[in-house]
Structure 1
Amino acid sequence: MRLKVICLVIGVLSGLSACSTTEKSPADPRVVQNQPQTKVPEVLNAEGLLNKARTKQGASRIQLLYSARENAIKEQNWPILEQACLALERNETVDYVQNKLYIALARTELNNYSTALNILKALNERLSLPEHKAWHQYLMGRIYASQGMPKKALTYYFKAADLSFTDNLKVANLNDEIWQALQQLSSYALERFDRGTVIQRGWVKLAKYQQIYIGSGIQLHQALNNWQRRFVNHPATYILPKKVQNAVNLAPYQAKRIAVLLPQSGSSKRLGSALKNGFLAAMDHSEINDITFIDEQLSAEDIERQLATQQFDFIIGPLLKDNIEKVSNSSAIQSTPTLHLNIAETPNLNAEQYFFALNPEHEVEQAMVHFLSQAFQKPMLLAPDTLSGLRLVNHFKNEWQNYSLIEPEIGLYTDSKDMAKVVANLLEVDASKERIKTVKSLFRKEVESETRSRMDIDVIYILGDAIETRLLKPYLDVNVSTFAKRIPLYASSRSYSKRMDHTDKGDLEGLFFTEQPWMLNKSVDKFNLRAQYDALWPEQADIEQRLFAMAFDAVHLIPELKQLAKIPGKAYSGLTGKLSIKNNNTVERRLEWAQYKQKQIQLVQLEEQKPTPLFMQNHNRFQESLKD
């Protein structure tokens, strides 16, 4: 039996109402002629059919459950689909494999990926029909795609596509899922997929053409014509008018006149000045003819009046979260493409509202991905006992638990005096010292001894600022046992200070950290910006330097935003990092890795392979065992 939606027609019951027993004269105005009345048919949705099935027995119950199952798919009522399938499982005549695939579909749609994967794994040896095999591969791909693993998802999608094409099957949403996954791949990854069957190569080449010619109508049109001649009757043909040709509409924003909302008064005025310098520097290397600065600290009404003075092509800002909320209902901002310089507390669904923040959570995720790539098992995090420190620690812990059962060790310090105690306690050096003291008390002669630290910590991540990091590093060096392997040390960009590092690198040998390319003098510096900046503002603080780079990137992001938002695999290399958009029109950053080595800072390439979620790890080991 094929996996398809079967519409069930409910029987219509009709009846005649009883005639009145009292005869009246037709001329009598009180007479109401009795007309045959049709009983309103009972039309039930999936939930109604399931509830009715629960009151029946035998064949009637089974037929109602079938109807509830098919209606649930049409209505996309996944909880009811799961319940109907579980009820059908108790009947021996039900197609076991098909019903299990339906349950896996429901649980996939309900984000219950772990149990869906277990079902699919159990079905591996029981698949015989092509349609079952195709749906099995499709659902496997869906689960990997849901975890942000498009390359792995495509290996399953392409198998499903080949089965569907060979046996003339229809797998709902398969083509859309393939196209979405392909758009998340880099040009390099697409090249590696450009092999295999005609179906696979057709899909990949179409995705490559979109990447190469996006925004270029004539060239894209020519490439699509060539593709159609080469891949006749390919299942991706339907994508051409629906998806790819829409790419012509992704022509960049042409911003000649922009408005910038930044703080020009109050306690944040210094931040606004740093941003303003970055915007003015970017204007010299852009197509912008006119830029108007507006104080975001003004009232919403005053901001609205200033925005209404002329027609702006684009708006940048505000910087402060509260001010983003304040202007969210502005008619000028709602009708004009806008790049906010922070993240809003409430998501904005306006397609032309974008968000760009120097978000430290991105660095935490980047470090975590590297730790997992290196197979580190037990990280230790050191952070200040502040709101921001706790926020980052909790973010790391919440992400880490998706990939490992082992809890990270957390150390929170209140001040510089507390650091040594926290480090010694976490590494269990104090306990070692107590054991040494006990042993020495048992002997009169001098006993040679050396403290030992715990052996399970295999990486340490510091989330303190530059001063705190310089204080913590020596404590870590002296508290790790000489018998143990040196624990690699990592830190976020908070640990780095360009001004402090210029005069004192401290004892930071071996420390890895993430940082903006701009702060490491490694940037898209084709404009020779760093030399000019250092000449103009040699004494600027680190935060001002980072905001300058942010403003510069904000201007150069304007023509990139449409494509970044619509093509997940696309990225822009800016002063603040490698920038992309994945969700909710929010710009994400990938920073550079650097290391202190021989009193110098050296850029390094560290592995960052997308980790496999915990619930998938056993499945992957099972798949590998099948190959052996």
Structure 2
Amino acid sequence: MRSAVIVTIVLLASCTAPAPTPPDTQPAAGTVEAFEPASGDAQAMLIAARTAAPQRANDYRLSAAETLLRNDSAVGSILDDVDTDRAAPAQLRRYLVLRARDALRADDAPLALRWLGDGRLQQIPLDRKAQIKLGMMKSDTYAAMRSYLASARERIYVHSLLAATDRAGNGEAIFNTLRELSAGVLRRQAEREITPEVRGWLSLAELAQRHADDPQRTLLEFDNWRIAWSNHPAAQRPPRYLVMLRDVVTRQPRRVALLLPLHGSLAPYGRAIRDGIVGAHYHATAGQQTPPELAVYDTSAADLASVLNEARSDGAELIIGPLDRGRVAETLRIAGPELPVIALNRASADARPATSTRPVYQFGLAPDDEIMQVVRQTRREGHRRVLAIAPDSEWGRRNLDLFAAEWTAQGGDVIDQLVFTPDGDVSRLVKSLLDVDESEARASDLRRITGLTFEHTPRRRQDVDYVFILASPAQAGALKPTLDFYFAEDLPVYATSHVHEPNAGRMAMLDVDRIRFCDMPWKLTPGDSAQKLITAAWPEADGPLAPFFALGVDAYRLYARLRQLESIPGERVHGRTGTLRLTQERIVQRELMWAQFREGQVMPQPMVVAAE
């Protein structure tokens, strides 16, 4: 009996709940305490995602990717871990948009567009805010591909969804995007467009482009457009570019003074600029009852202050010139505060005042803009290591130093430089630059050491991504075949506009085959009506002096657009010397077109104008 009681007690004891774990006892090994990572802490969110449930893990990874993208960090590997099969619709939308943003961060707009066009995204219902965000992303992506018509369409489609306070900015963006296209393209698109709102935007941009060099005609056409399209969003809230036209027209100068060198070494350039201005003036004012007067002052030997005072006394309301770089610096010091000056060169950086109230605008054909464009383009293409070649001259060394400084500032490496003289042995210099002579020397040493006779094909250095040259057409014609001969035919070669002479013979262009360069529209595209008038009157406008005729045309047209350039952020003027922008220091910067020599022809880089 006693033994039975003992057994019963033991059994009851074994069924009793265990005593609670003391507070200071550690959790069993292998368990993880749940925690909520701090907002904005990407690493903490990624750690939390490892042990979270699938949908919660997706949220953590997507939030981490959003945080890192704000810091311009790559997030592809994080998005690879998102479980899209178990993702909720909102998560899938975030995932696809983040994929597109990551592609844009890597400058891969076509890939971004594929993510934004993913069929799964089209099946997800979107609220108004999400529709706007997606439309704006598509617009930005198309713009990055220079598919400007498609970019504008996306903004037009979401325009009615925007809050009233946001529509003005969107309208500005639509108009400015369409102005990237030519008047001819805009007209053809408007004729075939069936959506009224889109057609209205196209016709508005077309009239602005068609009369870009005639503010008075643009204003007249715009007033007629507003009557025909009175219910259009742009009629109710016009772009600032068009609103400012009335002020532009009323401020046109009645007398323009041209300060140019007509004798001496700069005379050919001064006369070309003068003739370009005269041609643009005649073209723009034909039919006007009271066109502005032009007065020419020779600055070849005259004291600049005296010439400025004479022009002012004669009633000039605008001065175009001087041309010489040193005289531009002098103008910055002595010009008065009331008379605007469009100088035709750019003073050196150390000659520019830190601040100035004088309305002196520095506009010219400075190679600085071209060099910066080469740097941006080659970095965008992923190049990092460069060989740079320039002539042994003040111009060559100054611009070679500028290129090296800008390239290094952008994170690139200048592996080596070559400075050549007109009478130097270019073949020997290029051979040394490419280390081909070292390759031959190594083979010679090996033959001497081993006593063997063997065939050897020299090799060039392999630590280079591309070659940049500053050269005239003749110099480039000697350099490019030499680079090819010494095994660098596979290296991309970039240059400034100085390698391109209009109407050069086919044989000369074969020598520079595959060189890629930037140049002005005057030399690369069919001329507008003013250019055709000028080249008919002055055949030399199609030769080596062509850039200076184009400079004269743009200088004459620029004044009418200065107030818009100063007042409207990001405003640009499509000129014959390039696309023009104005900095806060009143320096007019040019962006040129890209082209390439191919089989004896100049091939402009095509521009995408519509979605595929």
Q: TM-score, normalised by structure 1?
A: 0.57
How much has 1:370 moved relative to structure 2? 6.9
Partner residue of 1:316?
320
Contact kept? 2:582, 2:589, Cα under 8 Å: yes
In the alignment, structure 2 segments of 5+ residues that lack a partner are 1-37, 46-58, 83-90, 98-124, 286-291
Q: Contact 1:154–1:178 (CA<8 Å) still a contact in 2?
A: no
Q: Secondary structure of the equivalent of 2:297? A: strand
Q: Aligned equivalents of 1:152 and 1:113: distance in 2?
A: 27
Q: In the alignment, which of 73, 82, 94 is matched to residue 125 of structure 1?
A: 94
1:165 corresponds to 2:198: no
Pairing 1:178–2:173 present: yes
Q: Which of 393, 400, 403 is 1:392 aligned to?
A: 403
Following superposition of structure 1 onto structure 2, how do residues 461-476 of structure 1 map, counting pairs within 5 Å? 461-465=468-472, 468-469=475-476, 471-473=478-480, 475-476=482-483
Aligned ranges 1:148-163 → 2 under 5 Å: 149=144, 162=157
Q: CA deviation at 1:154?
A: 8.6
What is the 5 A alignment of 1:126-145?
130=127, 132-133=129-130, 136-137=133-134, 140=137
Check conservation: 1:369, 1:608, Cα contact below 8 A: no
Residues 271/195 of structure 1: CA separation in 2 closer, same or farther (3 Å cut): same
Between the two proteins, the alignment pairs up a number of residues equal to: 482
Equivalent residue of 1:311, what SS? coil
Q: CA deviation at 1:293?
A: 0.5
Structure 2 counterpart of 1:219: 221
**Partner residue of 1:307?**
311
How big is each residue's C-alpha offset from its partner over 1:172-225, in whole Å with a ceiling of 9 and x where there is no partner? 874265246436422467576996977666655544454456644343223123
Residues 593-618 of structure 1, C-alpha deviation per residue, up to 9 Å, x if partnerless? 47486xxx6433334789xxxxxxxx
Determine the C-alpha separation between the residues in 2 that align with 1:250 and 1:85.
51
Distance 1:177 1:86, change over 3 A: farther
Match of 1:492 among 487, 492, 496: 496
Residue type of the partner of 1:549?
F
The answer to whether the Cα contact below 8 Å between 1:209 and 1:220 also exists between their aligned partners in 2 is: yes
Q: Is the 8 A contact 1:150 1:182 kept in 2?
A: no
Helix, strand or coil at the partner of 1:381: strand
One-letter amino acid matched to 1:432 = S
Deviations 1:65-115 (A, max 9, x none): xxxxxxxxxxxxxxxxxxx9969x999xxxx99xx89x98xx99xxx7736
* 1:332-354 Cα deviation digits (max 9, x unpaired): 5x433432101353588879754
Residues 531 and 263 of structure 1: is their aligned pair in 2 closer, same or farther, counting only changes over 3 Å? closer
CA distance 1:396–1:262, change in 2 (3 Å) = farther
Change (3 A) 1:425 1:134: farther
Which residue in 2 is equivalent to 1:343?
Answer: 346
* Residues 274-285 of structure 1: pairs in structure 2 closer than 5 A: 274-276=269-271, 278-279=273-274, 282-283=277-278
Per the alignment, do residues 209 and 375 of structure 1 end up closer, same or farther by CA in structure 2, a change over 3 Å counting? same
**Cα drift, residue 479 of structure 1:** 1.5
Q: Which residue of 2 aligns with 1:114?
A: 72
The change in CA–CA distance for 1:348 and 1:273 in structure 2 (over 3 A counts) is farther
Instruction: State the match for 1:549 in structure 2.
Output: 549
1:497-525 Cα deviation digits (max 9, x unpaired): 799x89x9599352645666888999634
Q: Does 1:357 find its partner at 2:315?
A: no
The alpha-carbon distance between structure 1 residues 192 and 469, as it changes in their structure 2 partners (threshold 3 A), is same
Aligned residue identity for 1:185: E
Q: Distance in 2 between matches of 1:180 and 1:116?
A: 33
What secondary structure, in the 3-state scheme, does the structure 2 residue paired with 1:219 have?
helix
Instruction: Determine the C-alpha separation between the residues in 2 that align with 1:424 and 1:323.
Output: 42
For the structure 1 residues 413 and 325, does the alpha-carbon distance in structure 2 shift closer, same or farther, using more than 3 Å as the test? closer
Q: Distance in 2 between matches of 1:116 and 1:141?
A: 20
Q: Give 2:332's aligned amino acid.
A: S
Counterpart of 2:94, as a letter, is E
Matches of residues 360-379 of structure 1 in structure 2 within 5 Å?
A: 360-365=367-372, 367=374
TM score, norm. by length of structure 2: 0.59
Q: Does 1:453 align with 2:447?
A: no
Match among 297, 301, 324 for residue 293 of structure 1: 297
C-alpha contact (below 8 Å) 1:379/1:460 kept by paired residues: yes
Correspondence for 2:265: 270
The one of 491, 508, 511 equivalent to 1:508 is 511
Give the direction of change, closer, same or farther, for the CA distance of 1:608–1:459 in structure 2 (3 Å limit).
farther
Any unmatched runs of 5+ in structure 1? 1-83, 535-539, 611-628
Q: Does structure 2 retain, via aligned residues, the 8 Å contact 1:130–1:163?
A: no
Tell me which residue corresponds to 1:572. Answer: 575
Q: Secondary structure at the match of 1:270?
A: coil
Is contact 2:595–2:603 with CA below 8 Å preserved after alignment?
yes
Q: Deviations over 1:96-145 (max 9, x none)?
A: 99xx89x98xx99xxx7736999xx9985279973652674588589879
User: 1:259 maps to which residue?
Assistant: 257
The answer (yes or no) to whether the contact 1:259–1:294 under 8 Å persists in 2 is no
Is 2:574–2:580's contact at 8 Å kept on the other side of the alignment?
yes
Q: What residue in structure 1 maps to residue 602 of structure 2?
A: 603
Alignment partners' CA distance in 2, 1:378 and 1:239 = 49
User: Cα distance 1:281–1:569, how it changes in 2: closer, same or farther (>3 A)?
Assistant: closer
Does structure 2 conserve the Cα–Cα contact (< 8 Å) formed by 1:257 and 1:290? yes
**Kept after mapping to 2: 8 A contact 1:157/1:174:** no
Match of 1:327 in 2: 331
| Equivalent position amino acid for 1:335 in 2 | E
Instruction: Name the aligned partner's letter for residue 292 of structure 1.
Output: V
Residue by residue over 1:513-561, the C-alpha shift from the partner in whole angstroms, topping out at 9 and shown as x without a partner, is 5666888999634345686659xxxxx9x6xx46753564356535764
Return the offset for 1:308.
3.0
CA apart distance, 1:379? 5.2
Q: Write the deviation string for residues 25-52 of structure 1: whole angstroms up to 9, x where unpaired.
A: xxxxxxxxxxxxxxxxxxxxxxxxxxxx
Separation in structure 2 between the aligned mates of residue 159 and residue 594 of structure 1, nearest angstrom: 32
Counterparts of residues 404-419 of structure 1 (less than 5 Å): 407=413, 409-413=415-419, 415=421
CA-CA distance at 1:446 after TM superposition: 2.4
- Note if contact 1:370-1:606 (Cα within 8 Å) is conserved in structure 2: no
Matched, 1:424 2:431: yes
**Cα-to-partner distance string for 1:338-396 (whole Å, 9 max, x where unaligned):** 32101353588879754321122343355567768988786543235723221134345
CA distance in 1, matches of 2:260, 2:159: 55
- Per the alignment, do residues 308 and 533 of structure 1 end up closer, same or farther by CA in structure 2, a change over 3 Å counting? same
Q: Percent identity of the aligned residues?
A: 16
Corresponding residue for 1:477? 484
Aligned-partner residue type, residue 402 of structure 2: R
